[in-house]
Amino acid sequence: MKKLLLLFVWFPFFSFGQTINLENVITVIGISDKEIEPDWIELGMTAKETENIKKESETVIMENSILKFILSLGMDSGCFSVDRYSADTKYRYSSGSKVNLNKAYLLKVNNVKLLDTVIAKCFESGMDNLYVNQVGHSKIDSFQNILLQDALISAKLKALLIAKTMDVSLGKVISENETFYLGNNQPGLHQFNDYRLEEVTVNAYGIQNKARVGSSISFQKLKLAKTVIVKYEIK
């Protein structure tokens, strides 16, 4: 019984001896950022139609035209998809049954050099309200790893500088936390301002007139940033 009691009394002292003294810790922040050109762009667009149900839908004709065109460019058919869809039937005494269709589409262009060509074809086919919905890069994970390495190097250099100035030795890493920021790629972020494919003119009393200005698009680069918080033990 005495041996068991001595064991319990000794154990807390052992645990306490393994605790790191927070006063002997250096906490540093390392930051690395980069801007890159996106290599894929997702377009959003809409189509509206009021058509007699007995007649072939103009929307279907338009969809087939765009699909055939992107296939001719070597793009996958899965790049063109329906995002939202609504329809309601209107009954009129004079013209019979009609259907109001509202469709929204997404078109992912994996080659940015084809962007103007694709946009021109979409307008030509009858699509309306084209905008850049999302942008991205196929090698985003590789860029993240490079940024992480640079941020860690930055943090270590800061820690070494602090240790040298304080005339102490830098010990092992106690902990490391990281965050990653990817700007200008959120869905729907580019539906307005410089990303929208139309010009906005503001008149008196806040009235806005909009007019399409062509198929060219300009958009910001992707902003990447990695932040690390590293704690080093000092001797």
Domain edge (last residue) among 99, 121, 136: 136
State the residue range of the domain holding 225: 23-37+139-234
pLDDT in the model for residue 147: 95
Tell me the one-letter amino acid at 20: I
Number of compact structural domains in the chain: 2
Residue 198 included in any domain = yes
Question: Closest Cα partner for 36 from 195, 228, 226, 220?
Answer: 220
pLDDT tens figures, 70-113: 999 999 999 999 888 776 665 544 455 566 777 889 999 999 88
Q: What is the mean pLDDT of the chain?
A: 75
CATH code assigned at 104: 3.30.70.360
Domain edge (last residue) among 85, 110, 136: 136
Stretch 178-207: mean pLDDT, rounded? 49
Element (H, E) at 62: helix 58-72
- Does 218 lie in the same domain as 108? no
What are the angstrom distances between the C-alpha of 6 and each of 2, 15, 19, 44, 91? 6, 15, 21, 73, 92
- Does 187 lie in the same domain as 74? no
With 0-12 / 13-18 / 19 or more C-beta atoms within 10 angstroms meaning exposed / middle / buried, residue 194 is exposed
Contacts of 91 (CB under 8 A, 6+ apart): 97, 98
pLDDT tens figures, 115-170: 889 999 998 888 888 888 888 999 999 999 999 999 999 999 999 999 999 999 99
Buried b (16+ CB within 10 A) or exposed e, 81-96: eeeeeeeeeeeeeeee
- Does 195 lie in the same domain as 117? no
Q: Is the pTM of this model over 0.75?
A: no
pLDDT in the model for residue 51: 59
Stretch 195-206: mean pLDDT, rounded? 36
- For residue 206, the 8-state DSSP code is G
- Token representation of residue 13: 């002292």
pLDDT band at residue 219 under the 50/70/90 scheme? low
CA angle 204, 192, 32 (to 5 degrees): 130
With 0-12 / 13-18 / 19 or more C-beta atoms within 10 angstroms meaning exposed / middle / buried, residue 39 is middle
Tell me the one-letter amino acid at 45: M
Please list the residues that pair with 87 across neighbouring strands: 101
Stretch 26-33: mean pLDDT, rounded? 94
Whether residue 212 has pLDDT greater than 60 = no
- Does 103 lie in the same domain as 175? no
Contacts of 224 (CB under 8 A, 6+ apart): 33, 34, 35, 36, 140, 143, 144, 147, 180, 181, 182, 183
Domain edge (last residue) among 136, 158, 181: 136
pLDDT in the model for residue 44: 92
